[in-house]
Amino acid sequence: MSQPLVLGIESSCDETGVGIVRGRELLANEVASSMELHVRFGGVVPEVASRAHLQALLPTLRRALDTAGVGLSDLDAIAVTAGPGLMGALVVGLSAAKALALALDKPLYGVNHLVGHVGVDMIEHGRLPRPCCALLVSGGHTSLLAVGDIASDIRELGSTIDDAAGEAYDKVARVLGLAYPGGPAIDKAAVGGDPKAVAFPRALTVPKDLAKHRFDFSFSGLKTAVARHVETAALVGREINLPDVAASFQEAVCDVLSAKAVDACRFLGADTLVLGGGVAANSRLRALLEERTADAGVALRRPSPVLCTDTGAMIAVLGAAVVEAGLPPSGLDIGANPGLPVTRVLV
């Protein structure tokens, strides 16, 4: 089917997203975030997120249909995040998608949230070249991927062995007394800071580690190093320079991410790097990747910041790619899979 009209539902964490695409043309991208409900806890509370999805899903669906100017009967297919994510949150989106698919007699496609973060780039920049490399950076995941066919051929080159980049941002923000979520807070605090002021570690970058973990990441030690820096300053009665510490931490994260991403492109012989995930909106990461990919002769594809977060648009466009590839629909008995591997695009 060419240019299928697909509804996408995303509910893996704290954002309820409903998107509608015709092929790769974005018709609607409505998002309701429950982030404010989690701020006082310093992180996402699964039960709170699930209840927020229940309240937000139908109003968000109505807005998306109105924005796109289509009716439910016009849809060719329904795509929904089947994993990974929070179990309760995933179940809400899956239940809604199943109900719609059954009531409308439309095919249902349970797809991978992480692959959606890569596929969303197609909305703005067209089909992905084959092969290409993808750097996926979010609150819960940090991975380097070899992408053949976005609908069926994803291979993981490496991933985080402890904290994901976004998770490290949240934890360091807490140490520095900054607001949740930590990514935007640290990015803002780093403005005007000296990224070389504090020599924070770059894990898994020395030769002995690269031999085993060439494309893997580790940010737990970096988080601990920031905490020790702050604790030591307090012990000796010295004020920390917040912009310098924030900039130095951010530089350490972005230095490793960008260096390994360019190395992965060389390894694959890929001349295109796709950046995806919530942390892809980070200003320093985008700037450093732009600089290093240009030096390496690699084209950098970056979705607009509004498409980097969890959205229904990314699920819809991935669903459309799966439909166009002629893959069979998922059954109505599919379940939520919080640990769905990134290599499994369709459930």
Buried b (16+ CB within 10 A) or exposed e, 36-53: eebeeeeebbeebbbbbb
What pLDDT does residue 310 have?
94
Any idea what the Cα angle at residue 176 is, between residues 174 and 180, rounded to 5°?
35
DSSP string, 3-19: S-EEEEEE-SSSEEEEE
Q: What is the pLDDT of residue 1?
A: 59
Q: Which residue do the tokens 């995040």 mark?
A: 81
Closest CA relative to residue 305, chosen from 282, 323, 288, 327: 282
Spatial distance between the Cα atoms of 275 and 27, rounded to a whole number of angstroms = 22
String of DSSP letters for 109-148: EEEEHHHHHHHTTHHHH-SPPSSEEEEEE-SS-EEEEEES
What is the rounded CA–CA span in Å between residue 110 and residue 330? 6
Domains defined for the chain, CATH in brackets: 5-120+311-324 (3.30.420.40), 130-302 (3.30.420.40)
104 token code pair: 């409308």
> Mean pLDDT per segment of 10 residues, for the chain of length 347 residues?
91 96 98 83 86 96 98 98 97 98 98 97 95 91 96 97 93 94 95 97 96 96 97 96 98 98 97 93 94 98 92 98 97 95 96
Q: How far apart are CA 242 and CA 197, in angstroms?
A: 11
Q: Could you give the CA distance from residue 82 to residue 116 in angstroms, rounded to a whole number?
A: 11
pLDDT at position 45 is 87
